[in-house]
Amino acid sequence: MVRALDIANLVIGSHYRNKAGLTAKNSKSGAVTLVQRFGGSLNLNIHFHQLFVDGCYELGTDGEPIDFWAAPLPTVKEIEEVLSKIIVKLTKYLERQKIIIRDVDDGGFQIPIPDEDTLSKLQATSVTYRFATGKSKGKKAIVLRAATDNDHTATKGLVAKNSGFSLHAGVATKSHERDRLERVCRYIARPAVSEERLSTDDHGNVIYRFKKPWDDGTTAMKLTPMEFMERLVALVPRPRVHLTRYHGVLGPHYKYRKQIVPKPPAPPVLSLDQVDQVIGPQQLQMKRKNIPWARLLSRVFNIDVETCIKCGGKMKMIAAIEDPKVIRKILDHLGLPTKPPPLHPARGPPKQGNYFGDDFQQHFEMSFDNFNQYAD
């Protein structure tokens, strides 16, 4: 995933440099990438949302930015050229790494999945909207359809599609349009599952309603609890995988990053009297207090330990028993076990396998929608 993102960033940055008439040695672009791993139907759909600076910075001899060259909005033809370059570079890299294998019969690609790599199996089947375990192994989820009069319309705007890859560049935000920028950031940083669209039926199945109906009228999907958990597991990234990345002049190790992204002004230092005037003595006292233990237990276990389960009255703690001997006597008197249940042996992590999901997007929103041909 990291190398694929580097390729996309390199090609798009090169496009901006060429528009400005600069080279890689004397210029730098900048971008922030948020990696999303989910599609609209809880399927694994790895894609990139990249917020690019609309131009590039000309650098001095020591790498310090000395000027900014703004670039006009790209045309559809330019987006198609950028996408073609990304496809060529990416497929060559994946073939060299043996992550994908070219099918000599139909010219498509296949992704080899090791038999012992359970997580990669879950992810591979999730890409194709199928299940890897249980009674529904190899099958697609049950969908719920409604009558629709919507006709499928071709995507318009700054969009390029090629061999299952797609590149969107139709969203542009000016630096002073903070509300618009916030909406874009909320969209690309949203979580995988919306609780508002989750419900259960009378048989305990999970119903997940789509944000927008499909072209065939499908509005929701029905999953058993285990199928729902399988979908969620496939969306979990591997350990130590960062889903937010910074590139070019916005990179954390760029020497002159502070000149491009200045720090916000430090808050003023207030005296205690000023703090009392701004916050108020009662709120200040509440901030200094710790959260009561009963409220913490209620948050974690959803149990109100201060309410009697028989009469619903308010209870008061009269003692805290810490002596193990006294605790055992009380448990023996109540007929409760005095020893904790045995622990199950720890299980090792799943073995690492080669897997590359099949989608990317851009704002530049870039998507590689159906890259592998083994989907059906």
Q: Residue 311's pLDDT band (boundaries 50, 70, 90)?
A: confident
Q: Could you give the CA distance from residue 291 to residue 51 in angstroms, rounded to a whole number?
A: 40
Q: Is 19 exposed, middle or buried (0-12, 13-18, 19+ CB in 10 A)?
A: middle
Write out the E strands in 71-200.
101-102, 109-110, 142-145, 159-162, 165-168, 198-200
Q: Which pLDDT belongs to residue 233?
A: 86
pTM summary value = 0.60
Q: Which residues pair with 48 in a beta bridge?
A: 35, 366
Half-sphere exposure of 61 (CA within 13 A, CB side): 0
Q: Both tokens of residue 4?
A: 């694929």
pLDDT tens sequence across 150-197: 444 344 578 888 877 888 888 888 878 888 888 888 888 888 888 888
In one letter, which amino acid is 99?
Answer: I
Q: Which pLDDT belongs to residue 283?
A: 53
Q: Which of 296, 270, 298, 295 is nearest to 284 (CA)?
A: 270
Query: To which H or E segment does residue 31 belong?
Result: strand 30-38
In one letter, which amino acid is 78?
Answer: E
Q: Residue 39's pLDDT band (boundaries 50, 70, 90)?
A: confident
pLDDT tens sequence across 236-258: 888 888 888 898 888 888 888 88
Q: Residue 349's pLDDT band (boundaries 50, 70, 90)?
A: low
Across the chain, what does the average pLDDT equal? 76
Q: Which pLDDT belongs to residue 240?
A: 84
Extents of the domains making up the chain = 2-262+356-368
- Calculate mean pLDDT across residues 118-140: 68
Q: Which residue has the tokens 């960062």?
A: 242
Contact 7, 86 (CB under 8 A): yes
Query: What would you measure as the largest C-alpha separation in the chain, in angstroms?
Result: 86
CA distances to 329, 337, 343 from 340, rounded to whole Å, are 15, 8, 9
φ, ψ for residue 141, nearest 5 deg: -70, 150
Q: Which pLDDT belongs to residue 274?
A: 60
Q: Which pLDDT belongs to residue 181?
A: 86
Q: Which pLDDT belongs to residue 290?
A: 63
pLDDT tens sequence across 350-362: 554 433 333 333 3
Residue 68 confidence (pLDDT) above 80: yes
CA distances to 273, 291, 337 from 276, rounded to whole Å, are 5, 21, 52
Q: Is 9 exposed, middle or buried (0-12, 13-18, 19+ CB in 10 A)?
A: buried
Q: Residue 105's pLDDT band (boundaries 50, 70, 90)?
A: low
